[in-house]
Structure 1
Amino acid sequence: MNFHAVRAIYAFELGRTLRTLFQSLAAPVISTSLYFIVFGSAIGSRMETIDNVSYGAFIVPGLIMLALLTESVSNASFGIYLPRFTGTIYELLSAPVSAFEALMGYVGAAATKSVILGLIILATARLFVPIEIVHPFWAAAFLILISISFSLFGFILGLWADGFEKLQVVPIMIITPLTFLGGTFYSIKMLPPTWQTVTMFNPIVYLVNGFRWSFYGQSDVGVGLSLSMIVAFMALWVAIIAWIFKTGWRLRT
C-alpha cells in the first residue's frame, strides 16, 4: 500500500476545499438555515408533532441528508474530473499508484468534507431547535457510510462527464428531487396508500429514514433495510469503478 500517494491525493483535495471555503461549506449552511427559517419556523409552528417529534426537529436528519448527498456527489465528481480536464490524470495513471489507492485518496477526501459539512449543519440546527440523538453511534455510522457511498457514486460521475455542465446534471436533476421526495420534510405515512407504495421505490427513502431512526428511534422503514441499501450501493459503485480502471473507460480518452 502506497500510503504516501494516498496521503498526497487526500491532502491536495482537502486543500482545494480551503481555497473554496465559502462555496464548500458556507453556502450549504446558509441554504440549510433558510430551510429552518421557512419550514421549521414559519410552517413548523403551524403543524402538529410527527411521531411525538416537533416538526422543526423532525426535518433535521432530512436536511443533513440533503446536503450530504449533493455535496458528496459534487465533491467527488469534481475532484476526479479536474485532472481529466487538465490532463494531469495521465500523471496519476503512469505513477506507481494503484486504482484502489487513488480511490482512497479522492473518495476519502470527498467523504471527509461531507462529514464535516454534516456536523456543521447539525450544529447549526441546534441553534434553531433542541435535538437529542438517541443512537449517536449509529448516527455517526450512517453519516460516514452514506458519505463514502455517494462519494463513490460522484467519482463515477466525474469519470463519465465530458463537460462541467454534466457534473451538475445528476445532483440537480436526480439526487435533489429524489431527496425531496424521500421523506426529507414529511413522514411517508402521511401519504395516501398508493403514493406510499410508489415512494418505497425511491432508494433515498431508506437512507433518510435510517438516519432519522438514529436521531429519534423511529423510522418509516426498518433500520436493517436501510443499512442493507447503503451496503448494496457501495458494492455496486465499487464494482463499476473496478471495471472502469480495468478497461480504462474515460480514463485514457
Structure 2
Amino acid sequence: MNWRAVGAIYGFEMARWRRTLLQSVVSPVISTSLYFVVFGAAIGSAITAIDGVSYGAYIVPGLVMLTLLTQSISNASFGIYFPRFSGTIYEILSAPVSPVEIVLGYVGAAATKSVILGLIILATASLFVPLRIDHPFVMILFLLLTAATFSLFGFLIGIWADGFEKLQLVPLLIVTPLTFLGGSFYSIKMLPPFWETVSLFNPVVYLVSGFRWSFFGQSDVGVAISLAMTGLFLVLCLATVAWIFRTGYRLKA
C-alpha cells in the first residue's frame, strides 16, 4: 500500500476544503439552525412529544443524517469530477497509484469532512435542545458507515457526471426527497398502514431509524436491520467502484 500517495490525495482534498470553510461549514450550520427555528420552535410547540422524546430533540438525528448524506455525496462527487474536468485525472491514473489508493484518498477525505460537519451539527443542536446519546459507540459506527457509504456513492456520481449540473441532479432530486420522506422529521409509525409499508422501501428510513436508536434507544425498524441495509449499500458501492476501475468507464474516455 502506497500510503504516501493516499496521504497526498487526502491532504490535497482537505486543503481545498479548508479554503472554502464559509461554504463548506458555515452555510450548513446556518441552515440547520433555521431548521430548529422552524421545526423545533414553530411546529414543535404544537407537537408535545414522540415516544416520550421532545420533538426538538427527536428531529436531531434526522437533521444530522440529512447533512451527512448530502455533504458526503457533494464532497466526494466534486472531488473526483474536478480532476476529470481539468484533465489531471490522467496524471493520477498514470502514476504508480492503485485504484484502492485513489479511492482511499478521495473517499477518505470526503468522509472525514462529512463526519466533522456532522459532529458540528450535533454540537449546534445541543445549543437548542437537551440531547442524550444512549449508545455513543453505535452512534459513531452509524456516522462512520454512512459517511463512507455515501462518499463512495458520491464518488460514483462524480465519475458518471459529464457536467457540473449532473453533480447536483441525484442529491437534489433523489437523495434529499428520500431523506425528508425517510422519517427525518417524524416517525413512520405515525403514518397510515399503507404508507408505513411504502416507507419501508425507502433506504434512508433504515439509516435514520438506526441512527435515532443510538440516541434514544427507540427506532422504527430494528437496529440490526438498519446496520445490514447500510452494509449492503456499502458493498454495492464498492463492487461498482471496482467495476469502474476494471473497465475504465468514464475515466479513460
- Give the match for residue 240 of structure 2: 240
- CA shift, 1:185, in A, is 0.4
- Give the match for residue 76 of structure 2: 76
CA-to-partner distance for each residue in 1:59-81, whole Å, 9 max, x for gaps? Answer: 00000000000000000000000
SS for the counterpart of 1:221 is coil
- Give the match for residue 109 of structure 2: 109
Q: Read off the aligned partner of 2:8 and give its amino acid letter.
A: A
| Aligned equivalents of 2:164, 2:228: Cα separation in 1 | 33
- CA shift, 1:23, in A, is 1.0
- TM-score, normalised to structure 2, is 0.99
Q: Where in structure 2 are the equivalents of 1:92-241 lying within 5 Å?
A: 92-241=92-241
- Give the match for residue 16 of structure 1: 16
- TM-score, normalised to structure 1, is 0.99
- Give the match for residue 57 of structure 2: 57
- CA shift, 1:168, in A, is 0.3
Quote the RMSD (CA, aligned, Å). 0.4
- CA shift, 1:45, in A, is 1.4
| Aligned equivalents of 2:51, 2:144: Cα separation in 1 | 26
CA-to-partner distance for each residue in 1:175-224, whole Å, 9 max, x for gaps? Answer: 00000000000000100000001000000000000000000000010000
| Aligned equivalents of 1:235, 1:99: Cα separation in 2 | 16
- Which blocks of at least 5 consecutive residues in structure 2 are unaligned? none
Number of positions where the alignment pairs a residue of Structure 1 with one of Structure 2: 253
Identity of aligned residues (%): 70
SS for the counterpart of 1:249 is coil
- Which blocks of at least 5 consecutive residues in structure 1 are unaligned? none
| Aligned equivalents of 1:136, 1:163: Cα separation in 2 | 40
The runs of 4+ residues in structure 1 deviating greater than 3 Å are: none
| Aligned equivalents of 1:155, 1:213: Cα separation in 2 | 28
- Give the match for residue 251 of structure 1: 251
CA-to-partner distance for each residue in 1:144-169, whole Å, 9 max, x for gaps? Answer: 00000000000000000000000000
| Aligned equivalents of 2:234, 2:201: Cα separation in 1 | 18
